[in-house]
Amino acid sequence: MKLFTETVDKFLKYMEAIERSPETISGYTKDLVAFNRFLEKQYNGAVYIEEVTVGDIESFLESLKAQGQQPASRSRKLYTLRSFFAYAYKKEFVKRNIALSVEPPKLQQKERTYLSESEVMQLVDAIQHNLIRIVVLTLYYTGLRISECLDLTLDTVDLDKKLIHVVAGKGNKDRSVPISDKLLPVLKDYVQHQRPKVDSPYFFATGKTGRLSPVYVNRVLGETVQALGWKKKVTAHILRHSFASQLVKKEVNLVKIQKLLGHSSLKVTSIYTHSNMEELSEAVNVL
């Protein structure tokens, strides 16, 4: 018999061995530590993995709901437990993956917030911080995640070939994203005339620390949106949504959008096929 904590340690080492991202491993660790804490309180001591039941997982999720955790957060924790017990079953530590018997919380499907082209340009014009203005344009014209964008180096941005190479993006995958004709002159001007002379490999470099942080970019975005008097919340990730939404609106093939965004499945990309109310009104008024 193996202790639950012992199996967790083996699972996390396995995650490292198959090169899951540090962010993924960190998330799994937090979820499993929280579940183990719950189990030890229930059983009044250390627990063996074979002792864990479907009821334990259901009670754990119920306790999270009582604490006010949203369905998406509880669903992610169940996903962690399913991955963990799948590993334990594969290694024959348990007879079955009990987490598969637990119904996931029902998630409310929300329309993704996104900006129109004119709103993006209005936002860009209002940003006071020059480097962040260029970062925002890059996010909008490439669909990069904020971490992917700020991790770009001088070596991974090829202005001659008009390509951005994303190295070890989400899921530890590499991909290449073409630089559009609108973005290219902005990036060229930045490199030639604006980038500070610092010993930093990062493409978007600052004079002080050598790089920008996602927190700082989102703070400037929040302050700019507030200054504009907008009610909607705008983050760096909203620019990624806006990129995808505008491509869908212009009838770009979903498979092409999937490749640009670096999505593992077309199902994830299909969330961007939303329509705004103006378009829906036009549709019903055709009759």
Q: Which helix (H) or strand (E) holds 181?
A: none
pLDDT in tens, 58-88: 999 999 999 998 888 899 999 999 999 999 9
Name the band, by pLDDT with cuts 50, 70 and 90, for residue 98: very high
pLDDT > 70? residue 274: no
Check 145, 195, 211, 241 and give the catalytic one: 145
Check 162, 237, 249, 259 and give the catalytic one: 237
Check 77, 133, 195, 263 and give the catalytic one: 263
Nearest to 76 by CA among 40, 36, 28: 28
Name the band, by pLDDT with cuts 50, 70 and 90, for residue 125: very high
Is 153 strand, coil or helix? strand
> What's the whole-number average pLDDT of the chain?
88
89 part of the active site: no
> Average pLDDT, stretch 222-243?
91
pLDDT confidence of residue 270: 65
pLDDT > 80? residue 90: yes
237 part of the active site: yes
272 part of the active site: yes
274 part of the active site: no
Check 170, 175, 249, 259 and give the catalytic one: 170
Nearest to 206 by CA among 144, 127, 132, 128: 132
240 part of the active site: yes
pLDDT confidence of residue 251: 78
CA distance 95 to 224: 55
Buried b (16+ CB within 10 A) or exposed e, 243-279: bbbbbbbeeeebeebbebbbbeeeeebebbebeeeee
Name the band, by pLDDT with cuts 50, 70 and 90, for residue 149: very high
pLDDT in tens, 151-209: 999 999 999 999 999 886 666 678 888 999 999 999 999 999 999 988 899 999 998 88
175 part of the active site: no
Q: Are strands 157-158 and 175-178 parallel, antiparallel or unpaired?
A: unpaired
pLDDT confidence of residue 107: 66
